[in-house]
Amino acid sequence: MANRLKKKTVPPPDPAELKPEKEEQISIQEVAKDDRTKKIIGAVSLLICLFLFIAFTSYLFTWQDDQDKVQQFGVRIFSTADVKVNNLLGVLGAYAAHNLMSYGFGLAAYLFCTFFFVLGINLLFGKKVFSLLRNLKYMLFGLLVISVALSFFTAGSTFSWGGATGELIEQWFVKWIGKVGTGALLSLAVFSYFVWRFNPTFHLPARKKIVKQVIPEMPQANQQTEPATEAKLFMEETTSTSNKLKQKGQRVTVVMPKQEEPVNDPMNEMALIEKEDGITNRDDSGKRADLADVVNEAAIPFEINKSALTINDLYADKEINFDEQEEEAEIPLEAEEMTIDELPTFYEPIPKKNTASTEVKKPVLGAPALEIKEALDNESAEESIAAAATTAAPVPKADYDPSLDLRDYKYPTLDLLETHGSEKIVHDAEELEANKNQIIETLKNYDIDIQRIAATVGPTVTLYEIVPAPGVRISRIKNLEDDIALSLAALGIRIIAPIPGKGTIGIEVPNVRKTVVSMKTLLASEKFQNNNYSLPIAIGKKIDNENFIVDLASMPHLLMAGATGQGKSVGINTLLVSLLYKKHPSQLKFVLVDPKKVELSLYRVIEKHFLAKLPGEEESIITDTKKVIYTLNALCIEMDNRYDLLKEAGCRNIKEYNEKFIKRKLNPQKGHQFLPFIVLVVDEFADLIMTAGKEVEMPIARLAQLARAVGIHLIIATQRPSVNIITGTIKANFPARIAFKVSSKIDSRTILDAGGAEQLIGKGDMLISYNGDITRLQCAFVDTPEVEQVAAFIGYQENFPEQYFLPEFEDEKELAGKDFDASDRDPLFEDAAKLIVANQIGSTSLIQRKMKLGYNRAGRLMDQLEAAGIVGKNAGSKAREVLVKTDGELFEILEMMQ
Ligand SMILES: Nc1ncnc2c1ncn2[C@@H]1O[C@H](COP(=O)(O)OP(=O)(O)OP(=O)(O)O)[C@@H](O)[C@H]1O
């Protein structure tokens, strides 16, 4: 029996029930919108462009033969078999060229090629690479103006250079306004057309100016110039005079940075500085176009605040109240405070042991120094005599002038510095538009619609500010931050979502053409010249080109970090040079710590003007770790001594104290003196921490916590911003921090408490966290030869006879175990005894201050004086009684002790 498989039979479909297969319905509109169609049309346009170009060019050589044939046959030329033309593109080429050139617009017909080229490129790349509308306008006006002008200026020529259209219009003009009028009108029209199209820049030949050098009084004596003008460019498609950026309904507002004008300061020979007027804009033809004329062109709904880009929200919880800090740092006024009435009315400062040496110190440097010498020698002798006459005989009771010791000191002039590059922010319309389109498209990929987009062009980066469409939550964009950055795929993109206080999202994109910010420009700026900061530092330029100039005294310390080669050393030089340009050697001292030994060595030539060091040390730039520890501790002693002085004077900070001293309200006999600011600069802090650890960290932390009120400020730089180097204690005391490009996000967080520094592009691109805001800056650039010039200029001048000495510090560990032995007297015993007897005050702090000693050593001296019977027993908080009343008595005691 056969095993019969049961077959499941499917009944055949009833043909009546079968539905016809549905054909895909594609509307013409969809076809037109399709990307492929656009690309094909783009390619066709480019081909037309090429075709016309070859046909026209060929026609220029073959027109005499072809013209007649085309005229004779007309359209029939295509169907007539035995007509032969010479045009490279055959009958079609000859026909098109003849009709567009001879019958049309002559040479101006080439403009058709540009139009098809623009159309083709835009369609092929699916982007608005060039503005079609603008090019259409250029073409239409160009056809008219150029053809008529060519007809007029080539009248009588056998070839019709302006074409029939040009000739016709030209004849009308000649009829209406005559030949001269037509010539003038057409010249003007052609000129206007080229200006409109290419906006060339016209330069007058530079005039040589002779600038008389004026001896500066003080750097504050400046003339004010007009405030810098802010240039804003608003672009709209409907505006014909500017380059426009508009796509798919998004309006782009371009905020051009303002160019600060330098101050006209005779001291700085401002005439030597080229005035920056206007911002250049490259349109899509690559030519420059002046944008000044489109400033403030249209009202825009999206107003951009020129203040710097900040990320408050990231930093909000760490926000530091500087005012509070200031109060903490100030010492309380105690009962000991002297009232002004108690003080003798005016005190004469004790003349320094060695007055400023008249011998002029030769700088170490060669060539620049020689140039400077000449400059100084040439200065009018009369001026120096006049200056000397006014200062030689000080009027009694006049204010004390700390700069008198170096009364002829001249501040460095700006011509010692160089201008790097043109300094003009070049705004490339194509680049802006391409970036804008990419941003819009990228966000669209994540379903984020944009309402408006605005761009602010800075020296190195452009900030695109985006207003999301209603309903788009910023938190969504924030979450997509990394993806968006990846999609935009450009190096150095930083997204700020949202920009605090604005509700907009910021995307910073590096410029293709970056502008170097010269130190010279910054120092010449009005803000630098005319501020009343105690320690003005010009750091760089913000994204909106505003100069970032701040007071180091209010920061009050600065921490800098950045991977190697990203601009740290240049940054330090920038800060030091700013201070050198504004401060007199009597007002400021630097303590320079340079474990790398080479970075700060340039400043050795100014050691007797601006550097402070430990007594007995040879090198003024500290490179040895052991010496660094001593120096930091000596600074702590200096800080304590200064606090004692302030307390005694009843002043809350160094400013008040110095003001009182200048007004001669403080008695120099009691140890009071004018206190210069001290700026400690440590290059390569990581190296110190690794070799000395806590021994370095503790004094730094102490200084950072307390030293601001007494005028000691720290600038600390490190390559490695890791947590074991920038510890919590250090960080807490450095509210102002700078990050150049770092190698990882973690490093960025360590230094700024926020990411972003890993996205910077190097070469001075930096983020500064200051006053709770994080601002992107381009650091000013000052090259080593410039620093050498400035240092040599200062170093060559008359100097103090010796350096500013910090108090002596003795390592307690070394002293431990040494008991007091009357026969083993301190070498300073005699000096201390004389000081105490002369003042009749048995005070350890007096010894500390007057002899610039540390507390330990002064204490030991006091013990020895007690043992020798010169002072009485310790009387607690009061000064000890001085038992020896006259110099004679003391002399006898000292004789006996020999
Ligand atoms: N503000 C700036 N503008 C333009 N270029 C800069 C700027 N700062 C630095 N550069 C460029 O970067 C180079 C390296 O800078 P710099 O020597 O300051 O780096 P660094 O961080 O100190 O490196 P290192 O830690 O190795 O000493 C400079 O020689 C200069 O060409």
DSSP 342-361: GS-S--PPPPPSSPPPSSPP
Ligand 1 atom 11 nearest Cα: 763
**Residue 846, token pair as written in the block:** 């007096």
Q: How does 305-325 read in b/e, with b if 16+ C-beta sit within 10 Å?
A: ebebbbbeebbeeeeeebeeb
Residue 204: per-residue pLDDT: 64
Please report the atom of ligand 1 found closest to the CA of residue 599: 27
Q: What pLDDT does residue 20 have?
A: 53
Name the CA dihedral angle for 658, 659, 665, 667, rounded to a multiple of 10 degrees: 10
Ligand 1 shell residues, CB under 6 Å: 516, 562, 564-570, 719, 763-764, 779, 781
**What residue's CA is closest to ligand 1, atom 30?**
763
Angle between helices 784-795 and 568-582 (to 10 degrees): 30
Take atom 2 of ligand 1 and give the residue whose Cα is closest. Answer: 764
Helix (H) or strand (E) holding 499: strand 494-499
Which range in 236-240, 376-380, 773-777 is most confidently predicted, on average pLDDT? 773-777
Alpha helix positions (H), 753-868: 784-795, 812-815, 829-839, 844-850, 855-867
For strand 712-718 and strand 558-561, is the pairing parallel, antiparallel, or unpaired? Answer: parallel
Distant-in-sequence, close-in-space partners of 896: CB < 8 Å, separation ≥ 6: none
Is 592 a residue whose pLDDT tops 70? yes
Q: What is the DSSP letter of 268?
A: G
The DSSP H or E segment spanning 486 is helix 481-488
State the closest ligand 1 atom to the C-alpha of 719, by its place in the atom list counted from 1.
25
162, 154 contact by CB (below 8 A)? yes
CA distance 159 to 101: 10
Q: Note the pLDDT of residue 210.
A: 38
Instruction: Report pLDDT for 753.
Output: 87
Q: What value does the mean pLDDT take over residues 144-152?
A: 91
Residue nearest to atom 10 of ligand 1 (CA): 763
Q: Whose CA is nearest to atom 12 of ligand 1?
A: 763
**Tokens standing for residue 657:** 């104290």
pLDDT of residue 6: 43
Q: Which atom of ligand 1 is nearest to the CA of 684?
A: 25
Domains of the chain from N-terminus onward: 28-198 (no CATH), 233-301+424-510 (3.30.980.40), 519-805 (3.40.50.300), 812-897 (1.10.10.10)
Q: Is the pLDDT of residue 369 over 70?
A: no
Confidence grade of residue 426 (pLDDT, cut at 50, 70, 90): low
- DSSP label of 447: T
Predicted local distance difference test score (pLDDT) of residue 360: 41
Predicted pLDDT of residue 399 = 77
Q: Which residues contact 642 (CB under 8 A, 6 or more apart)?
A: 654, 675, 710, 711, 712
**Position with higher pLDDT, 892 vs 369:** 892
Which of the pair, 699 or 382, is modelled with greater confidence?
A: 699
Cα of 564 from ligand 1 centre, angstroms: 8
Better pLDDT: 270 or 339: 339
Query: Quick check: 93 pLDDT over 70?
Result: yes
Give the model's confidence band at 452: pLDDT under 50 very low, under 70 low, under 90 confident, else very high.
Answer: confident
pLDDT level of residue 213 (50, 70, 90 thresholds): very low
Give tens-digit pLDDT for 2-60. Answer: 444 444 445 555 555 555 555 556 677 777 777 788 889 999 999 999 999 999 999 99
Query: How many A from CA of 488 to the centre of ligand 1?
Result: 27
**Contact partners, residue 247, CB within 8 Å, separation at least 6:** 128, 433, 436, 437, 440
pLDDT number for residue 354:
39
Mutate to test the pocket of ligand 1, among 522, 566, 578 (most ligand atoms within 8 A of CB): 566
- Amino acid (1-letter code) at residue 277: D
In this predicted structure, the answer to whether residue 554 has a pLDDT above a threshold of 60 is yes
pLDDT at 236 exceeding the cut of 50: no
Which residue among 517, 763, 784 is best mutated to probe the pocket of ligand 1, counting the most ligand atoms within 8 A of its Cβ? 763
Sequence-distant (≥ 6) Cβ neighbours of residue 391 within 8 angstroms: 401, 404, 407
- Please check the confidence at residue 422 and state whether its pLDDT lies above 70: no
Q: What per-residue confidence (pLDDT) applies to 246?
A: 41
Mutate-to-test residue for ligand 1 from 517, 520, 547, 569, highest number of ligand atoms within 8 A of CB:
569
Q: Taking the mean position of all CA atoms in its chain, how far away is CA 394?
A: 43
Ligand 1 centroid to Cα of residue 456, in Å, is: 25
Ligand 1 atom nearest residue 563's Cα: 21
Looking at ligand 1, which atom is closest to the CA of residue 573?
A: 18
Specify whether the CB–CB gap between 599 and 569 falls below 8 A. Answer: yes
Rounded to whole angstroms, the Cα distance separating 163 from 637 reads 91
Distance of CA 782 from the midpoint of ligand 1 (Å) = 10
pLDDT at residue 245 is higher than 70: no
What are 563's two structure tokens?
């991977």
* Distance of CA 565 from the midpoint of ligand 1 (Å): 5
Taking the centre of ligand 1 as the mean of its atom positions, its distance from the CA of residue 774, in whole angstroms, is 21
Q: Would you state the pLDDT for residue 252?
A: 52
The residue whose CA has the least distance to atom 15 of ligand 1 is 567
Task: Check pLDDT > 90 for residue 677.
Answer: yes
Q: Which atom of ligand 1 lies closest to the CA of 572?
A: 18
Cα-to-centroid distance, 780 and ligand 1 (Å): 11
- Record the tokens describing residue 257, joined without a space: 């940075």
User: Average model confidence (pLDDT) for the chain?
Assistant: 74
574 CA: nearest ligand 1 atom = 1
Mean pLDDT of 326-350: 42
771: left (phi over 0), alpha (psi -120 to 50) or beta: left
> Apex CA 172: angle with CA 168 and CA 173, to 5°?
115
Beta bridge partners of 551: 536
Model confidence pLDDT, tens digit, residues 716-741: 999 888 888 888 888 888 989 999 99
Q: Whose CA is nearest to atom 5 of ligand 1?
A: 763
CB 766 within 8 A of CB 780: no
Kindly tell me if the per-residue pLDDT of 679 is higher than 90.
Answer: yes
pLDDT tens figures, 377-415 = 444 444 444 444 444 444 456 778 888 878 889 999 998
What's residue 498's pLDDT?
Answer: 75
- Binding site residue list: 562-569
Q: If you take atom 31 of ligand 1, which residue's CA is the nearest one?
A: 763
Residue nearest (by alpha carbon) to ligand 1 atom 4? 763
**485 and 496 in contact (C-beta within 8 Å)?**
no
Structure tokens, 571: 């940054």
Report the DSSP pairing between strands 712-718 and 677-682: parallel
> Which atom of ligand 1 has the smallest separation from the CA of 540?
1
Residue 569 alpha carbon to ligand 1 centre in Å:
6
- Quote the ligand 1 centre to 677 CA distance (angstroms): 28
Q: What is the mean pLDDT of residues 326-330?
A: 40
The pLDDT score that the predictor gives to residue 624 is 86
663: exposed, middle or buried (C-beta count within 10 Å: 0-12, 13-18, 19+)?
middle
The two three-digit tokens of residue 334, written as one number: 């105690």
Using the atom order of ligand 1, give the atom closest to the CA of residue 740. Answer: 21
Indicate the range of 51-65, 302-316, 468-482, 566-580 predicted with least confidence: 302-316
Binding-site residue set for ATP: 562-569
Q: Exposed, middle or buried, 576 (CB in 10 Å: 0-12/13-18/19+)?
A: buried
- Three-state DSSP string of 103-135: HHHHHHHHHHHHHHHHHHHHHHHCCCCCCHHHH
Q: How confident is the model at residue 510 (pLDDT cuts 50, 70, 90)?
A: confident
> Which of 42, 793, 25 has its CA nearest to residue 369?
793
Task: State residue 826's pLDDT score.
Answer: 82
Minimum CA distance residue for ligand 1 atom 25:
564
Nearest residue CA, atom 28 of ligand 1? 567
Strands 288-290 and 450-457: unpaired
The residue nearest atom 6 of ligand 1, judged by CA position, is 763
Q: Phi, psi (5° rounding) for residue 104? A: -105, -105
% of the chain surpassing 90 pLDDT: 19
Query: What distance in Å separates the CA atoms of residue 670 and residue 421, rounded to the nearest whole number?
Result: 55
4 secondary structure, DSSP code: P
Distance 412 CA to ligand 1 centre (A): 23
Instruction: Tell how far the Cα of 762 is from the centroid of ligand 1, in angstroms.
Output: 8
Cα gap 383→403, rounded to integer Å: 17
Per DSSP, helices labelled H in 758-819 are: 784-795, 812-815
Note the pLDDT tens digit of each residue in 786-839.
Answer: 999 999 999 988 888 888 888 877 665 555 444 445 567 788 888 899 899 888
User: pLDDT tens digit string along 104-144?
Assistant: 899 999 999 988 998 898 888 877 777 788 888 889 999 99
Contact 166, 174 (CB under 8 A): no
Of residues 377 and 276, the one with the higher pLDDT is 377
Residues near 106 by beta carbon (within 8 Å), at least 6 away in sequence: 146, 147, 150, 151, 160, 161, 162, 163, 166
312 — pLDDT class (breaks 50, 70, 90): very low
Task: Specify the higher pLDDT residue, 65 or 367.
Answer: 65
Q: How confident is the model at residue 859 (pLDDT cuts 50, 70, 90)?
A: confident
Share of the chain above pLDDT 70, in %: 72
